[in-house]
């Protein structure tokens, strides 16, 4: 009797490029501030959907990626402070009609810096809500009193106007 060969299911699609070395490089680039779209644009990197599939199928990569996003958040918060406190581009030298030089604020640069700081704050609050999220105090510290009507009994009974 001849043995039958077991049929193996072939996977559909291209084989995965996943390696631990490539996963580590992706996480390193994320810590450096790259987005997944920026990574996917590189020829040596997988697509965004492929990275998401790897996160589903490789728990070690998922853990490494989560840590990389946490570190990226810390770096972004540092960058936010730099943007907020660097006013070097906020003012430019201009000349009036008499040729006198004066400092003029550049509202477009100030608004751009504000937008950048607000975006980083929002992102940090979403990625690390316990540390950078809005604090909601749900504890009640006041007293709640209910008004209970009290009945005073005196020697006279109030008369009703209804007769």
> Assign residue 103 a region: left if phi > 0, alpha if psi is -120 to 50, beta otherwise?
beta
For the chain, helix (H) and strand (E) counts, in that order, are 6, 2
CATH superfamily of 20-94+104-132: Homeodomain-like (1.10.10.60)
Q: What pLDDT score was predicted for residue 147?
A: 66
Q: What pLDDT score was predicted for residue 28?
A: 97
Q: What pLDDT score was predicted for residue 139?
A: 73
Q: What pLDDT score was predicted for residue 3?
A: 59
Exposed / middle / buried, residue 120 (Cβ in 10 Å: 0-12, 13-18, 19+): buried
Q: Per residue in 53-73, is it b (16+ CB within 10 Å) or e — as a string?
A: ebbeebeebeebbeebeeebb
Residues in Cβ contact with 39 at an 8 Å cutoff, skipping those fewer than 6 apart: 26, 29, 30, 45, 51
Q: What pLDDT score was predicted for residue 61?
A: 96
pLDDT tens figures, 38-50: 999 999 999 999 9
Lowest mean pLDDT: which of 8-22, 74-88, 116-130, 146-160? Answer: 146-160
Which pTM does this prediction carry?
A: 0.62
Return the domain boundaries, the chain.
20-94+104-132
């Amino acid at each position: 009797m001849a043995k039958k060969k077991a049929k193996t299911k072939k996977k559909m699609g291209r084989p995965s490029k996943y390696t631990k070395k490539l996963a580590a490089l992706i996480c390193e680039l994320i810590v450096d501030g790259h987005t997944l779209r920026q990574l996917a644009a590189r020829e040596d990197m997988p697509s965004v959907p492929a990275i998401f599939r790897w996160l589903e199928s490789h728990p070690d990569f998922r853990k490494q990626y989560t840590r990389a996003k946490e570190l990226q958040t810390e770096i972004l918060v540092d960058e936010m402070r730099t943007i907020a406190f660097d006013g070097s581009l906020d003012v430019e030298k201009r000349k009036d009609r008499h040729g006198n030089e004066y400092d003029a604020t550049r509202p477009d640069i100030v608004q751009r810096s504000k937008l950048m700081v607000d975006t980083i704050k929002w992102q940090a609050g979403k990625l690390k809500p316990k540390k950078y999220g809005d604090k909601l105090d749900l504890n009640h510290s006041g007293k709640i009193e209910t008004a209970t009507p009290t009945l005073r009994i005196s020697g006279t009974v109030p008369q009703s106007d209804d007769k």
